[in-house]
Structure 1
Amino acid sequence: MGSIAEIEIHLLESIQGGMAQFYTPQSSNETMLVQIPPGAIDKLFVHRFQTDQLLVVRESFVLVVLHNRQYRYVYLSETQPQAVKIPPGVPHGAINLNSRPCLVVNAVLRHGAPHPKDYRPIEPPFPYDLERVRTLLKGNPKIPQTMV
């Protein structure tokens, strides 16, 4: 049996050009701008033939990833330029408990035609830990972004 893919988190490298800061571009087949509304608690999604590469450009949110029947909560913010790569087959969702919308660039890598079930929400198998999400959104550095 093959191993299950996991997400990857990459800090973006940058160079200074005059007054502007230029960050590493993410290659993609398609680029989407995604707005996560305030108060959003997404159900889970799974893409069968697509890799998501997420980069927050305004505000912050918490990415929820289901792996081995545990949630991993990953805080993503405009103040920490990093790309999160979500390979095919990984259930994931977004939580934005902030009062402002979050804008995310998704540099999508296509591995085939979209599957009809790719964009249908899946009910989470057990409740999210919203207290942990609130702590992450407050920027508490004492809480690691690991499985809970």
Structure 2
Amino acid sequence: MSLTKQVEIRSLESIKTGMIEFYTPQTSHETLLVQVEPGAVENLFVHHFQTDQLLGVRGSFVIAVLQNRRYHYIPVSDRIPAVIQIPPGVPHGAINLSSEPCLVVNAVLRHGEPHERDYRPMLPPLPYDFVEVESILRSLNIPITLGASFN
């Protein structure tokens, strides 16, 4: 059994009536609407007593998650009805290679009071792999307008 907390990707369940589809809400202590600006390449940060539950509602970006000294790149998009759940203690950062902002709902689960070092940026110990990020976005037919210049 692994002691490392893992990021989970959960498909949303839905109920369709006519031309309307209802998706299951996420349980949370606080719900935030987050905007990831176009061209954003954010340093890593970590939460100590908080689980993020991210759902893309407009646009697309990639969340870079650092686990076991390697990055895992996970697309967050309005085209993918899934929740990315990031547990406490997992370093993560945002990469938006489009010219449009991305809106994300974060249904936050609190496991204690916020820590003074939450949201404090950390320099990535390894550079992001923008070729891999672009490849992931292209495989999902997500438009990229700001690539390569970050390398």
Under a length normalisation based on structure 1, what TM-score does the superposition of the two structures give? 0.91
Counterpart of 1:34 in structure 2 is 34
Query: CA-to-partner distance for each residue in 1:88-116, whole Å, 9 max, x for gaps?
Result: 00001110010100000000000000001
Cα distance, 1:47 vs. partner?
0.3
Q: Does 1:123 align with 2:123?
A: yes
Counterpart of 1:81 in structure 2 is 81
Letter in 2 for 1:51: T
Whole-angstrom CA distance in 2 between matches of 1:19 and 1:97: 32
Cα distance, 1:18 vs. partner?
3.3
Structure 1 counterpart SS, 2:139: coil
Whole-angstrom CA distance in 2 between matches of 1:73 and 1:25: 24
Q: Does 1:9 align with 2:9?
A: yes
Query: CA-to-partner distance for each residue in 1:58-83, whole Å, 9 max, x for gaps?
Result: 01111100001000011121111000
Counterpart of 1:57 in structure 2 is 57
Counterpart of 2:145 in structure 1 is none
Counterpart of 1:45 in structure 2 is 45
Structure 2 counterpart SS, 1:74: strand
Cα distance, 1:34 vs. partner?
0.3
Whole-angstrom CA distance in 2 between matches of 1:6 and 1:25: 22
Counterpart of 1:146 in structure 2 is none
Percent identity, aligned pairs only? Answer: 60
TM superposition outliers: structure 1 runs of 4+ over 4 Å:
none
Q: After superposition, where does 1:128-147 map in structure 2 within 5 Å?
A: 128-139=128-139
Cα distance, 1:140 vs. partner?
5.0
Whole-angstrom CA distance in 2 between matches of 1:20 and 1:117: 42
Structure 2 residue runs of 5 or longer lacking an equivalent are 142-151
**How many residues were matched structurally?**
140
Whole-angstrom CA distance in 1 between matches of 2:10 and 2:45: 22
Letter in 1 for 2:105: V
Whole-angstrom CA distance in 2 between matches of 1:66 and 1:75: 14
Whole-angstrom CA distance in 2 between matches of 1:140 and 1:26: 24
Measured at CA, do residues 101 and 16 of structure 1 come closer, stay the same or move farther in structure 2, by a change above 3 Å? same
Under a length normalisation based on structure 2, what TM-score does the superposition of the two structures give? 0.89
